[in-house]
A = this chain, B = another copy of it.
Amino acid sequence: MIGDVAQQVGLSLRTVRYYEEMGLVNPSSRTQGGFRLYSEDDVRRLYILKGMKPAGMTLEEIRELMNLLDRTESLSDPSDVAGLLAGLREYEARTEEAIDRLERHLVEVRKLRDRIRKRMSACEAWLLETVEQPG
Protein backbone atom coordinates (compact mmCIF):
# COMPACT_ATOMS: atom_id res chain seq x y z
CA MET A 1 0.00 0.00 0.00
CA ILE A 2 1.34 3.38 -1.05
CA GLY A 3 0.22 5.15 2.12
CA ASP A 4 2.22 2.98 4.50
CA VAL A 5 5.26 3.05 2.26
CA ALA A 6 5.15 6.81 1.76
CA GLN A 7 4.82 7.41 5.49
CA GLN A 8 7.62 4.99 6.32
CA VAL A 9 10.04 6.50 3.81
CA GLY A 10 8.94 10.07 4.40
CA LEU A 11 7.57 11.03 1.01
CA SER A 12 4.14 12.24 -0.06
CA LEU A 13 1.82 10.03 -2.05
CA ARG A 14 2.06 12.45 -4.93
CA THR A 15 5.84 12.25 -4.88
CA VAL A 16 5.92 8.45 -4.85
CA ARG A 17 3.53 8.33 -7.79
CA TYR A 18 5.51 10.96 -9.63
CA TYR A 19 8.74 9.02 -9.16
CA GLU A 20 6.99 6.06 -10.67
CA GLU A 21 5.81 8.18 -13.59
CA MET A 22 9.43 9.23 -14.14
CA GLY A 23 10.52 5.60 -14.24
CA LEU A 24 12.36 5.61 -10.92
CA VAL A 25 10.43 3.06 -8.87
CA ASN A 26 7.68 0.75 -10.02
CA PRO A 27 5.60 -1.12 -7.48
CA SER A 28 6.37 -4.75 -8.22
CA SER A 29 2.69 -5.67 -8.19
CA ARG A 30 -0.84 -4.38 -7.83
CA THR A 31 -3.99 -5.59 -6.11
CA GLN A 32 -6.85 -6.79 -8.30
CA GLY A 33 -8.39 -3.36 -7.94
CA GLY A 34 -5.22 -1.56 -9.04
CA PHE A 35 -3.70 -0.54 -5.70
CA ARG A 36 0.09 -0.37 -5.72
CA LEU A 37 1.99 -3.02 -3.74
CA TYR A 38 5.63 -2.45 -2.83
CA SER A 39 8.24 -5.13 -2.11
CA GLU A 40 11.10 -4.72 0.35
CA ASP A 41 13.38 -3.89 -2.56
CA ASP A 42 10.97 -1.24 -3.82
CA VAL A 43 11.02 0.41 -0.41
CA ARG A 44 14.81 0.28 -0.30
CA ARG A 45 14.87 1.96 -3.69
CA LEU A 46 12.68 4.74 -2.37
CA TYR A 47 15.03 5.29 0.55
CA ILE A 48 18.01 5.47 -1.76
CA LEU A 49 16.13 7.87 -4.02
CA LYS A 50 15.28 10.09 -1.11
CA GLY A 51 18.95 10.15 -0.12
CA MET A 52 19.96 11.22 -3.63
CA LYS A 53 17.76 14.30 -3.78
CA PRO A 54 19.89 16.41 -1.42
CA ALA A 55 22.70 16.02 -3.92
CA GLY A 56 20.75 18.46 -6.07
CA MET A 57 20.37 16.14 -9.03
CA THR A 58 17.38 16.23 -11.34
CA LEU A 59 15.17 13.14 -11.42
CA GLU A 60 16.63 12.40 -14.86
CA GLU A 61 20.12 12.28 -13.39
CA ILE A 62 18.96 10.24 -10.43
CA ARG A 63 17.39 7.78 -12.83
CA GLU A 64 20.65 7.49 -14.75
CA LEU A 65 22.68 7.02 -11.58
CA MET A 66 20.26 4.38 -10.30
CA ASN A 67 20.63 2.63 -13.63
CA LEU A 68 24.41 2.70 -13.40
CA LEU A 69 24.33 1.32 -9.87
CA ASP A 70 21.88 -1.40 -10.91
CA ARG A 71 24.14 -2.42 -13.76
CA THR A 72 27.03 -2.99 -11.35
CA GLU A 73 25.02 -5.85 -9.88
CA SER A 74 25.59 -8.15 -12.84
CA LEU A 75 28.84 -7.55 -14.68
CA SER A 76 29.57 -9.44 -17.86
CA ASP A 77 31.19 -7.48 -20.70
CA PRO A 78 34.48 -5.69 -19.87
CA SER A 79 33.84 -2.89 -22.36
CA ASP A 80 30.47 -2.21 -20.77
CA VAL A 81 32.12 -2.11 -17.40
CA ALA A 82 34.59 0.50 -18.60
CA GLY A 83 31.76 2.82 -19.66
CA LEU A 84 29.98 2.09 -16.43
CA LEU A 85 33.05 3.16 -14.48
CA ALA A 86 33.27 6.37 -16.46
CA GLY A 87 29.66 7.16 -15.63
CA LEU A 88 30.15 6.46 -11.96
CA ARG A 89 33.25 8.65 -11.84
CA GLU A 90 31.16 11.49 -13.28
CA TYR A 91 28.55 11.11 -10.55
CA GLU A 92 31.16 10.78 -7.86
CA ALA A 93 32.45 14.19 -8.90
CA ARG A 94 28.96 15.68 -8.89
CA THR A 95 28.38 14.25 -5.47
CA GLU A 96 31.53 15.79 -4.09
CA GLU A 97 30.49 19.15 -5.47
CA ALA A 98 27.17 18.70 -3.69
CA ILE A 99 29.00 18.03 -0.44
CA ASP A 100 31.00 21.24 -0.85
CA ARG A 101 27.83 23.18 -1.63
CA LEU A 102 26.08 21.83 1.43
CA GLU A 103 29.04 22.74 3.63
CA ARG A 104 29.06 26.28 2.26
CA HIS A 105 25.33 26.51 2.80
CA LEU A 106 25.75 25.41 6.38
CA VAL A 107 28.21 28.24 6.93
CA GLU A 108 25.78 30.73 5.43
CA VAL A 109 22.80 29.59 7.45
CA ARG A 110 24.79 29.59 10.68
CA LYS A 111 25.82 33.16 9.87
CA LEU A 112 22.18 34.03 9.34
CA ARG A 113 21.20 32.48 12.66
CA ASP A 114 23.88 34.49 14.43
CA ARG A 115 22.75 37.66 12.71
CA ILE A 116 19.18 37.07 13.86
CA ARG A 117 20.33 36.38 17.39
CA LYS A 118 22.38 39.55 17.53
CA ARG A 119 19.38 41.57 16.42
CA MET A 120 17.24 39.92 19.05
CA SER A 121 19.79 40.75 21.72
CA ALA A 122 19.89 44.33 20.56
CA CYS A 123 16.11 44.55 20.75
CA GLU A 124 16.02 43.08 24.22
CA ALA A 125 18.72 45.46 25.42
CA TRP A 126 16.79 48.37 23.97
CA LEU A 127 13.62 47.26 25.72
CA LEU A 128 15.34 47.09 29.11
CA GLU A 129 17.03 50.40 28.60
CA THR A 130 13.83 52.12 27.49
CA VAL A 131 11.48 50.67 30.09
CA GLU A 132 13.71 51.10 33.13
CA GLN A 133 15.20 54.46 32.39
CA PRO A 134 13.80 57.82 31.36
CA GLY A 135 13.80 58.36 27.54
Contact = CB atoms under 8 A, between A and B. Distances in A.
Contact of A124 (B85, B92, B105, B123): B85
Given A92-B113, A105-B102, A117-B92, A123 B81 contact: yes
Interface in A46-77: 50-52, 54-55, 65, 68-69, 72, 75
A98 B108 CA distance: 11
Interface residues of A, number: 46
How many monomers of this protein are in the complex?
Answer: 2
A interface secondary structure, majority: helix
5 contacts: A51-B108, A72-B123, A78-B130, A82-B127, A89-B120
Given A50-B108, A54-B106, A95-B112, 16 more contacts: A52-B112, A54-B108, A54-B109, A69-B116, A78-B127, A81-B123, A84-B123, A85-B120, A85-B124, A85-B127, A89-B120, A91-B116, A92-B120, A95-B113, A103-B106, A106-B106
